[in-house]
Structure 1
């Protein structure tokens, strides 16, 4: 294909795509709230600036999970710690940095009485366990409790 034809085709597509997108999306979205744009990229950027994601519900949901989830003794501690870590990472992604010590505290709080000696030991230490250290210690205790 000749470069001139490609450029003309591209220019036509760039002009048609915003029209198609505007006709496809809700009409009331484009009253006076969204200005006229020339490309789909500009349209999506404009919509993105106008309608930012509301993170309060997500923050509330993940904080509740961290605060209220209790270890069930069935799924395994690695899976439990992974769930907590996932919630923590999602909170960090929406700019809610609680610190790794909060994650550690949440995990310890979720454990049942089988782990009381480890919880007591942890609370008397002056140093914080990293997530990896805590995982190794708890999984070892879980394995010994099963054996």
Structure 2
């Protein structure tokens, strides 16, 4: 069978011989069921512990979180957009405190695109404030 000849020997030897292609694919799939559960656990831990560090940019941070959610979708685990918005908000550092409080006081809920745009805008404002603060601390330039 052509499929078996293209598979790594380690995997090929672990799968019983099958006549039909579909049976062979099912046997391969069964070999990876356990690893899917382990991947879900790994992704959950990664998603829970990831925090925005300020180095890569808030947009990249949000994109990483969305990518993790997309991996869950591939394993038949759905995470709603509303939950993801709140989850991302909790992953933001304390500098975003007033921003998060402002969001929580609003009646409307943001979509991911709105969250991303607002976070990027907030990040720019925070960086601008930090540079102004640094200028004031250093005093006037001569």
Report the TM range for the smaller structure's normalisation: 0.7 to 0.9
Pairwise CA RMSD: 2.6
**Structure-1 residue corresponding to 2:82:** 101
Distance of 1:115 and 1:90 partners within structure 2:
27
Deviation at 1:98, TM superposition (A): 1.9
**Structure-2 residue corresponding to 1:83:** 64
Say how many residue pairs are matched.
Answer: 124
1:104–1:129 contact (8 Å) kept in structure 2: yes
Instruction: Provide, for residues 8-37 of structure 1, a one-character-per-residue CA deviation record: whole Å limited to 9, x for no partner.
Output: xxxxxx6xx58968xx532xx46xxx3551
Within a 5 Å distance, the mapping from 1:1-147 to structure 2 comes to: 17=2, 25-26=12-13, 29=14, 34=16, 36-37=18-19, 41-42=21-22, 44-48=24-28, 50-54=30-34, 55-147=36-128
Deviation at 1:100, TM superposition (A): 1.1
| TM-score where L is the length of structure 2 | 0.73
**Structure-2 residue corresponding to 1:6:** none
Structure 1, unaligned runs of 5 or more: 1-13
Give the greater-gyration-radius structure (CA): 1
Structure 2, unaligned runs of 5 or more: 129-142
1:70–1:111 contact (8 Å) kept in structure 2: yes
| TM-score where L is the length of structure 1 | 0.71
Distance of 1:36 and 1:45 partners within structure 2:
9
Distance of 1:19 and 1:72 partners within structure 2:
45
